[in-house]
Each structure stands twice: as C-alpha cells, then as structure tokens.
C-alpha cells in the first residue's frame, strides 16, 4: 500500500524520495513543516519555509555536488562519496533530498533556516548520533548538522536546515 502525505491545504501531495532516475525509492517520505514567525516579529525575522523538491531538479547545484548525491544514493560510503574525513564513521539512512528555502509569503527562493520533518522507515532505537549531512548552497560546503529530534518508534526525524541545499539523514556507526 502506497503512503502519500499532503502539503498545505490546496497544494498537491508531497512526493516520496526520488532517485536519480526520478522513480520513488520508498526509502523515506518527506513532510514539509512550515515555520511561521511571531506576529510581533519584524518581517526580516520570519524564518524561511523549507521544501523538498524532486532530486531530478538540481538547478543551482554544482556538477560535483550532483555526483556526490548520485554516489550517496547508490549506497557508496559517505567518506568516499564526499571526500570528508568527518563523515568516515557515518552511514546514510535516507536518500539525498534537494531542499529549497522560500519566503513563506511570496514562495520565492530566499536565504534563511527552516525546519523539516522526515519519515525514516529504517530509523531504529539505539542508533548513535542521528544527524543530517547537509550541503549548503550558500557556503558550498557539506557539514554534519544536528537533528532537532529523532523518534525511532514513530520513524520520524526533525532537522533545522540553514537554507537551500541537499540533505540526507545519517547515523554514526557503533565501534
């Protein structure tokens, strides 16, 4: 049975994870969690709304990053795929998703952080250091970012991303 989640009222359903061919992988089903600023906050302080977009739409990402995404989605170890020693002990739990930060009012791409929630079917209790591996388009760098929460029983992870880029959920392998 296929699981499908919906976006905001009046918006189309949010697609599942897509591989480089555009076919659903079934690895995870992302869910948008829009962040609304306080009514008293100045307009510039309203956080960005972050959205998942299909992996096939990689506009704005350098070819080297697209190659890293393809390698991670093909199951290559993260150190080999990214060239980063800092991810040597990590394994990916999800396919890489392209993230777009947009202004919540205009839906135009913008800078700013936002929170995402993801369904991660292979998230298990006892996994160490569940984190996000994020490519930040603003800095053009990959980094490990903390998750806001990981709920193994509910198979959900929430993470605040610093803006537009690419994200996979990872965990540190036990010694």
Q: What is the DSSP-derived secondary structure letter of residue 78?
A: H
Q: How many angstroms separate the CA atoms of 7 and 110, rounded?
A: 20
Residue 110: CB partners within 8 Å, gap ≥ 6? 48, 101, 102, 103
Q: What is the dihedral of CA 118, 123, 125, 130, to 10 degrees?
A: -70
Of the listed ranges 15-19, 26-30, 59-63, 81-85, the least confidently predicted one is: 15-19
> Is the pLDDT at 21 greater than 50, yes or no?
no
Instruction: State the residue for tokens 């135009």.
Output: 108
Overall size of the chain counted in residues: 175
Q: What mean pLDDT is predicted for residues 82-92?
A: 95
Q: What is the DSSP-derived secondary structure letter of residue 39?
A: T
- β-strands 156-161, 90-92: how paired? unpaired
Q: How many angstroms separate the CA atoms of 65 and 76, rounded?
A: 14
> Is the pLDDT at 31 greater than 60, yes or no?
no
Dihedral angle sign, alpha carbons of residues 55, 4, 168, 159: positive
> Is the pLDDT at 50 greater than 80, yes or no?
no
Question: pLDDT above 90 covers what percent of the chain?
Answer: 47
Q: How many angstroms separate the CA atoms of 7 and 10, rounded?
A: 8
Q: How many angstroms separate the CA atoms of 95 and 147, rounded?
A: 16
- In this predicted structure, what is the pLDDT of residue 123? 95
Question: pLDDT above 70 covers what percent of the chain?
Answer: 66
Query: 57: pLDDT confidence band, cut at 50, 70 and 90?
Result: low
pTM, to two decimals: 0.70
């Amino acid at each position: 049975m296929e699981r499908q989640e919906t976006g905001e009222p009046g918006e189309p359903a949010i697609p599942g994870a897509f591989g480089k061919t555009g076919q659903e992988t079934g690895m995870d089903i992302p869910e948008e969690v829009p962040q609304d600023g306080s009514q008293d906050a100045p307009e510039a302080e309203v956080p960005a709304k972050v959205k998942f977009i299909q992996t096939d739409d990689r506009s704005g990402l350098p070819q080297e990053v697209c190659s890293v995404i393809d390698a991670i989605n093909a199951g290559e170890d993260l150190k080999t795929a990214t060239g980063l020693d800092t991810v040597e002990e990590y394994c990916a739990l999800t396919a890489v998703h392209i993230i777009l930060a947009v202004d919540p009012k205009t839906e135009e791409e913008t800078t700013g952080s936002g929170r995402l929630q993801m369904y991660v079917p292979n998230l298990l209790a006892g996994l160490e250091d569940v984190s996000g591996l994020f490519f930040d388009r603003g800095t053009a760098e990959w980094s490990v970012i903390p998750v806001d929460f990981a709920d193994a029983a509910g198979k959900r992870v929430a993470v605040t991303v610093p803006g537009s880029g690419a994200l996979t959920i990872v965990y540190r392998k036990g010694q």
